[in-house]
Structure 1
Amino acid sequence: MTVFKNVDAPERFSWPAGKSCAVVVSVLFDDGLDAIARAPDLRNRSKSFSVWEYGARRGVDRLLELFDELALRTSWFVPGLVAQKHADLVRRISSSHEIACRGLAFEDFGVLPAEEHKEILLRSRAIIEDIAGRPADGFRLPQGRWPRHFDQCLVEAGFKWSASLNGDDLPYLHRSSLVEIPVHIELEDRPYFQFNFTPPFPKGLGRIASYDGVLHNWITEFDAYRRYGLCYVLQVRPEMLGTPGRIFILQDLLHHMLDHDDVWLTTGGDLAAWAAQRVSPAPADHPLEVFEAYRREEACDE
């Protein structure tokens, strides 16, 4: 087998207590708001919408049971309206896990007027904090593009970290001092398991992936992240990975991680608090700065 050198890797991070890499297990508990954002008529289509309702009915419990069995703290991203609808469930989650924000109603901040951003963020954060009984410092973009200067808006609304962007595999700082914990689609369950006939999610209706194949992919990625000292962020959903068969994918993956004593299994908040004191703002050649550089070049040409 050919082994490729990681020639472009940044200087190796010094993780806490000499750990080789960091792992954050995150749960996206949208309760169908993500599906309704694509097809609003799902609200009145019980058969199709029940695919997403399964998460709150069964999937959350299976995830919590597994995390409790392994004594693992995780980070849950919850829209404000979902927290209100499932307040008792969110309180139970919060008793052992971190609750972070995912907007109010799964908004697309990229198409909303900038003056509405902060109001929505403040409302959603207040709802989460009132129900969870603790500060909600983290944020995950629900959908759409990242608005220009959105990091500053998040800081003004009281957030300290985000797990929304993809342009790295180590935490970094925005100009506003907001910590960004990068995420990647290959470490998310939706591309493998999201399937619905009508409306077609995803378009084209690709086959549901092999469970063994998904586990192999996630373990392969973890082994590489550990080898190069990076930050592995898994993103799962109760309705997709919380089924009787798929929960074992997560169980086997977590057991593989726990077999290594040099892995820092942590929450987004704890990782962000550690990174805020140790990482630098994104450099000029970082993917985060590409758009800003383009804007400056365009201004010079006018």
Structure 2
Amino acid sequence: MDMSVKWPNGARCAVALTFDFDAETLWLSRDPSNARRPGTLSMGQYGAKVGVPKILETLGDAGVKGTFFVPGWTVENHTDRAEMILKGGHEIGHHSYSHAWPDPDAPEKDIEEMEKGLESLKRVLGVVPKGYRSPAGETTDELVRQLDKHGFLYDSSMMGDVNPYRLPHPDGGRQLVELPYHWSLDDAPFVLFSVKTPRPIMTNSHIREVWQEEFKEIHRWGGFYNLVMHPQLSGRPSRIALLREMIAFIRGFEGVWFATCSEIAEAWAAQEQR
């Protein structure tokens, strides 16, 4: 089965370097009582204070663009960092308002998170996002309806393929481009640790092997590689080195196209229509 995609300029593989800039929302949305735990919140603060600037520096040195999915709360409380992302020429996508996990039994909350987050992006940054990623990769039929209603180009919350595909609409409406990801290409399962939810912290060599082996086969297939990172995790010193090493590794293959998610979604939609 031929799964290759006709990417621009004859590229064999499209690569998206994506970053979920959750900051403190990652911890506040999981447990509101964390508002009284400054040690826990400091992990999210690190992502804004150190992680984002170091990631931007690394991307700038490599001459590649990334896509940052940013909750509205983060935009309001770390405006300078969000502005740094835009000044670097990177894309900002929608990532809810407070990083609350979507709830299929509470569609009104999905609508509130969508609209409040959109308002923050537009008011604070002047950004009308083309793409959306749901917190923790969870989504609902109501969220899909909201993405259609607000005219989004793409979603990046699903895992239904390796290559982009059309996101089914629950009511038969407009189908967005879906840019799928997978937990194996997300840094969180490997390094997201807290005292209340402990898990092993994997070495760079372990993560590198998973990420590189996945890339080699996706490149062989001729597909789409969607790497998901979080500034408070991949912004740590050794993880910045891993990001730098991954960019160099990927560049060692022929026919690689680094692009923002919106560029990839637009290119895939264009080749779909040929």
Q: What TM-score comes out, normalization by structure 1 length?
A: 0.83
The residue type paired with residue 55 of structure 1 is G
* Contact 2:4 2:12 survives alignment (8 Å): no
Counterpart position of 2:260 = 267
* Contact 1:107 1:143 survives alignment (8 Å): no
Counterpart position of 2:185 = 187
Higher helix share: 2
* Contact 1:137 1:269 survives alignment (8 Å): yes
Counterpart position of 1:50 = 42
Q: CA deviation at 1:112?
A: 5.6
Q: CA deviation at 1:106?
A: 1.1
Q: CA deviation at 1:149?
A: 5.4
Q: CA deviation at 1:116?
A: 4.8
Q: CA deviation at 1:180?
A: 0.5
Q: 1:265 to 1:45 in 2, by over 3 A?
A: same
For 1:23 and 1:278, locate their aligned partners in 2 and report how far apart those are by CA, in whole Å.
Answer: 17
Counterpart position of 2:239 = 246
For 2:239 and 2:185, locate their aligned partners in 1 and report how far apart those are by CA, in whole Å.
Answer: 15
Q: What are the residue-to-residue correspondences of 1:49-128 with 2, within 5 Å?
A: 49-95=41-87, 96-111=89-104, 113-128=106-121
For 2:226 and 2:144, locate their aligned partners in 1 and report how far apart those are by CA, in whole Å.
Answer: 20
Gaps of 5+ in 2: 169-173
The residue type paired with residue 31 of structure 1 is A
Q: CA deviation at 1:47?
A: 1.6
Q: Structure 1 residue 139 and structure 2 residue 132: aligned? A: yes
For 1:144 and 1:17, locate their aligned partners in 2 and report how far apart those are by CA, in whole Å.
Answer: 31
**Number of equivalent positions:** 267
Q: 2:18 aligns with which of 26, 32, 38?
A: 26
The residue type paired with residue 54 of structure 2 is R
What is the CA RMSD across the aligned residues, in angstroms?
Answer: 1.8
For 2:228 and 2:217, locate their aligned partners in 1 and report how far apart those are by CA, in whole Å.
Answer: 17
Query: Which digits, 9 at most, give the CA deviation of each residue in 1:172-207, with x for residues without a partner?
Result: 11242211000100001011111112x22xxxx332
* Contact 2:7 2:268 survives alignment (8 Å): no
Q: Percent identity?
A: 27
For 1:218 and 1:145, locate their aligned partners in 2 and report how far apart those are by CA, in whole Å.
Answer: 22
Gaps of 5+ in 1: 1-8, 281-302
Q: 1:144 to 1:135 in 2, by over 3 A?
A: closer
Q: CA deviation at 1:10?
A: 4.4
Query: Which digits, 9 at most, give the CA deviation of each residue in 1:107-133, with x for residues without a partner?
Result: 222246334534532331232133333
For 2:157 and 2:85, locate their aligned partners in 1 and report how far apart those are by CA, in whole Å.
Answer: 22
Runs of 4+ in 1 over 6 A off after TM superposition: none
Q: What TM-score comes out, normalization by structure 2 length?
A: 0.91
* Contact 1:99 1:132 survives alignment (8 Å): no
For 2:125 and 2:252, locate their aligned partners in 1 and report how far apart those are by CA, in whole Å.
Answer: 32
For 1:10 and 1:147, locate their aligned partners in 2 and report how far apart those are by CA, in whole Å.
Answer: 31
* Contact 1:173 1:179 survives alignment (8 Å): yes
Counterpart position of 1:223 = 216
> Which has the higher mean CA deviation after the structures are superposed, 33-42 or 178-187?
33-42
